[in-house]
Amino acid sequence: MLNILENSFLISDTLDYSQQKLTEIDASALLVVNVDEIKTFDLNSNFLSTIPNEIDRFQSLVTLQLSNNQLVQLPEGLVCLKNLRHLHVNNNSLNDLSLPKEFQELKQLEIINLGGNHFKQFPYQLLRLTNLKEIYLGSNQIAHLPDQFHNLTK
């Protein structure tokens, strides 16, 4: 279990817990740690199946790295990260029902990597993200792109 207060890996504005063999995050630790200056939170290559909703406290977060875990769902609190520009959740166990209902609220999102998951349909919420510049969906089971996909201008 990750207790951020006991094992802080804060380097500059990056909180790095990649490759720590974590199986869960202690949500109470996210409530007490000072997250105001953290721009990057790296939880790549662990064994996480969930991320607590308290992730919503990371209001300054620009990059969230959750790749190579065992995530089946993204937390609703994710949509509160109004400064988030890069979201990497490739190589997990996400599917067509895994994105939060209000995912389109991530209006600043520029890059999203959903590759290597279990999507069968294009996530339509992505069509409402007007700042998206890069979408990675490879190694999923998506057969076709929606007609509106070509309306994405960036």
> Global pTM?
0.91
Residue-by-residue DSSP string for 25-78? B-HHHHHHS--TT--EEE--SS--S---GGGGG-TT--EEE--SS--S---GGG
**1-154: CATH architecture:** Alpha-Beta Horseshoe (3.80)
Domain residues of the chain, as ranges? 1-154
Question: pLDDT digits over 96-115, tens only?
Answer: 999 999 999 999 999 999 99
Tell me the average pLDDT across 136-140. Answer: 97
